[in-house]
């Protein structure tokens, strides 16, 4: 996939590194000159200085062929403008926006942003469910509200523990994406074996949540 990330803070930096490691074509936009120079020492041509809210800059980066535009600046207003502009001017890309104020999340969805990331909601959910293995913690809700990216921690007694992904009877419209093990994230494939205490990231339809919960 070709992905444009706007915002070179910690979120944008770590996301860019992770996506590049997975083999995606990624360009990160950072408007601050000093931060751009710092990032370019490590990321080289993967980082470009510029304002992601300017049509000309996005056009020069080939936003018309982008699969995904991700806005993760520290300002909700900027993230919303970037995503809306990408939708209106370039039509094709799906958009993801970081929402710093939870009160803005519904507005972003109403105005056409495909996916929002609200760190406050995620952290609150993790605090409430961290010690409960098998609980599905919602991380992201895709536009339309029926599909979510969720997180679950496997217990020793989990039906999925010590099994390969290909051997699991996953419910319809569910996909296991990654496992976090001892602080390291791994993309899951068919022959990947899940271990007790793995934190599993999954994509699922809300109608399949109960079945997926029983499996994990």
pLDDT in tens, 117-141: 776 665 555 444 443 455 666 666 6
DSSP per-residue letters across 137-160 = EEEEEBTTSSEEEEEEEPPTT-TT
Q: How many Cα atoms sit within 13 Å of 125 on the Cβ side?
A: 14
Average pLDDT over residues 179-190: 83
Strand partners, 25: 2
**Per-residue pLDDT tens over the stretch 48-93:** 999 988 899 999 998 888 888 999 998 999 999 999 888 888 876 7
> Rounded to the nearest 5 degrees, what angle is found at the Cα of 81, between the Cα atoms of 111 and 143?
35
Please give the sequence-ordered ranges of beta strands (E in DSSP) within the chain, or none if there are none.
2-6, 25-30, 47-49, 68-71, 94-98, 115-117, 137-141, 147-153, 174-181, 184-187, 199-205
Q: Which of 19-33, 57-71, 106-120 shows the lowest per-residue confidence on average (mean pLDDT)?
A: 106-120
Question: How many angstroms separate the CA atoms of 145 and 60, rounded?
Answer: 33
Query: What's the pTM value of the predicted model, to 2 decimals?
Result: 0.60
| Domains, the chain, ordered by start | 2-117 (3.40.50.720), 122-215 (3.30.70.1450)
């Amino acid at each position: 996939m070709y992905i444009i990330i706007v915002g070179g803070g910690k979120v944008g930096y770590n996301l860019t590194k992770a996506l590049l490691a997975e083999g995606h074509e990624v360009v990160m936009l950072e408007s601050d000159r000093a931060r751009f120079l710092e990032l370019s020492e490590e990321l080289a041509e993967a980082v470009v200085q510029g304002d992601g809210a300017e049509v000309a800059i996005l056009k020069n980066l080939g936003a018309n062929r982008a699969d995904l535009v991700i806005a993760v600046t520290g300002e909700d207003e900027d993230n919303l403008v970037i995503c809306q502009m990408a939708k209106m001017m370039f039509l094709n890309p799906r958009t993801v926006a970081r929402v710093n104020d939870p009160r803005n999340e519904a507005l972003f969805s109403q105005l056409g942003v495909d996916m929002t990331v609200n760190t406050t909601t995620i952290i609150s959910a993790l605090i409430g469910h961290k010690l409960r293995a098998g609980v599905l913690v919602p991380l992201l809700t895709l536009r339309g509200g029926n599909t979510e990216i969720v997180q679950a921690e496997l217990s020793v007694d989990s039906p999925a523990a010590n099994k390969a992904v290909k051997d699991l009877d996953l419910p319809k419209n569910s996909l296991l994406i990654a496992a976090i093990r001892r602080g390291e994230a791994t993309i899951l494939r068919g022959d990947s074996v899940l271990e007790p205490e793995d934190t599993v990231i999954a994509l699922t339809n809300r109608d399949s949540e109960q079945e997926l919960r029983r499996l994990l």
